[in-house]
Amino acid sequence: MVSRRYYLNISVRIILMMVTCILFALAVFRLPNPSILTLLGLLIPIQAYFLIRYLNSINRKLEQFFIMHLSGDVTTSFTGSGRKDEFEGLYSYFRRVNDKLESSRVESEIRNNYFKTIVDHTSTGLISFTMEGRVELFNDAARKIFRINVLRTLEKLDLFKEGFSDTLKALKPGESQLINLIIDDDLLQLSTRKAIFRTGTIDLHLVSFQNIKSELEQQEIESWQKLIRVLTHEIMNSITPIITLVATLTRIFRHKETGILKSLGELTDQNLEKTMRGLDIIENRGNGLVHFVRNYRSVAILPKPEFQILNLNDMFTRINELHEDILKEKNIMVTIECPHSLHLQADGKLIDQVLINLFKNAIEAVNGILVPRIRMTAENTDNQVVIEVEDNGAGITDYAMQHIFVPFFTTKEGGSGIGLSLSKQIIRLHGGTISVQSSPGKTVFTIKI
């Protein structure tokens, strides 16, 4: 670390101190001259002082170096006095460490600027904060969403919605939540997701925000369009023949040329029979419309769930026994895979209705299959109960997949088209989701609650 000059300097100083001490001893015993004793006595501590000072100089340089780096200063250059001396080797190490730390600092700054640029240019709003509510990150997208430039404390967001900050703190990691806000008379529908990570000794909560109002509005428009198409189809199927039949019956009771009503004597028994048949058809179609409206009400208005603890294995077994006769008749093999200890907090009647509907659909789907099979499974995954109803039927067409949960859409002759739509609404009332995947030979309905 240091040169030979350093060791030579130390050696010379020690030797001079030893010589001075010897001379002082000789003066005491051989030549006790007060002036000489005083001079030598002062010279010894002076030499000791300069030796100690010289030895401490290297410690001071090390101390200065570490103090500067602990304070974050890695730009100071150690060059000594400008001339080569015994500490030139130490200066060289200092410069090398300095250069390395400076290089790391520059790289870190470039990396931080890079990530900051990415964070500021993303279209997703990001806010990171401590549990005490101190905001550490507030990117440009978040500024545009909330229309404020500075956010130092999370509680400032309570101005937009009471308890908003507490809602963000209470979000569970990985959990998505839709939050509605009104800012400057503009409705925002924010999809939020949270992650928690540790920096040093601090836990930071990172919440992302995405305004999905336009996407939701587009989906809502498409859903309404699908619903209106189905409603129009069903109503026109009933109204068109009624109008045609009324026109036919009207012609029976009016003269074709003048349009004047016929007298009773002009009407034949055949005319009356035809009229009665027509009225029966009108009544039948009218009842069909009433039934259709009732079905619509059952989809639009659902009872509030009454939650209880359900054993899913018992539910599966009960549904299987309920359809035992038709399963034997069609030689359908049913497999149940569900732990006996698996429970679900839900409304038993409503969940029964969903599972029975899915099971009946599976029975119809395997009709005509050589070896028909239905499989019902349930498991607990990531604090979610996942239920699957699978069949090995022919599968669902792409067109049907797009409309399968639309009310009154059906591909079955005589079907009402409300079963799957009703099931989806029931599962949503339980805070869950229902989805379907289908290919030839395998269709799986998946419920997650």
Three-state SS for 124?
A: coil
pLDDT at 118: 67
Residues 6+ apart with CB under 8 A from 215: none
Predicted pLDDT at 352? 85
User: Is the pLDDT at 91 greater than 70, yes or no?
Assistant: no
pLDDT given for residue 229 in this prediction: 67
Q: What is the pLDDT of residues 214-232, one digit of tens each?
A: 666 566 566 666 666 666 7
What count of Cα atoms within 13 Å lies in the side-chain half-sphere of residue 339? 9
CA distance 373 to 369: 9
CA angle 418, 421, 425 (to 5 degrees): 130
Structure confidence at residue 2 (pLDDT): 52
List Cβ neighbours of 27 (8 Å cut-off, separation of 6 or more).
33, 36, 37, 40
Contact between 177 and 171 under an 8 Å Cβ cutoff? The reply is yes
Total number of residues shown for the chain = 449
Tell me the fold of 308-448.
Heat Shock Protein 90 (3.30.565)
pLDDT at 102: 74
Tens-digit pLDDT profile for residues 138-157: 888 888 888 888 888 888 88
Whether residue 69 is predicted with pLDDT greater than 70 in this model: the reply is: no
Contacts of 216 (CB under 8 A, 6+ apart): 189
In the prediction, which pLDDT does 259 show?
75
Helix-then-strand count for the chain, H and E: 12, 12
Q: Which of 9-18, 196-205, 381-390, 408-417 has the highest mean pLDDT?
A: 381-390
Q: What is the DSSP string of 299-361?
A: HH--PPP--EEEEHHHHHHHHHHHTHHHHHHTT-EEEEE--TT-EEEE-HHHHHHHHHHHHHH
pLDDT at 14 over 60: yes
Task: Look at residues 57, 50, 53, 58 and name the one whose alpha carbon lies nearest to residue 20.
Answer: 50
The most confident of the ranges 68-72, 326-330, 419-423 is 326-330
**What tens digit of pLDDT does each residue of 228-261 get?**
666 676 667 667 777 777 877 788 888 777 778 8
At 133 the pLDDT is 87
Does the domain at 217-300 match CATH 1.10.150? Answer given as no
- For the chain, what are the domain ranges? 4-103, 122-211, 217-300, 308-448
Evaluate whether the domain defined by 122-211 bears CATH number 3.90.320.10. no
pLDDT tens digits for 15-68?
Answer: 888 888 888 888 777 777 777 778 878 888 888 888 888 778 777 776 776 676
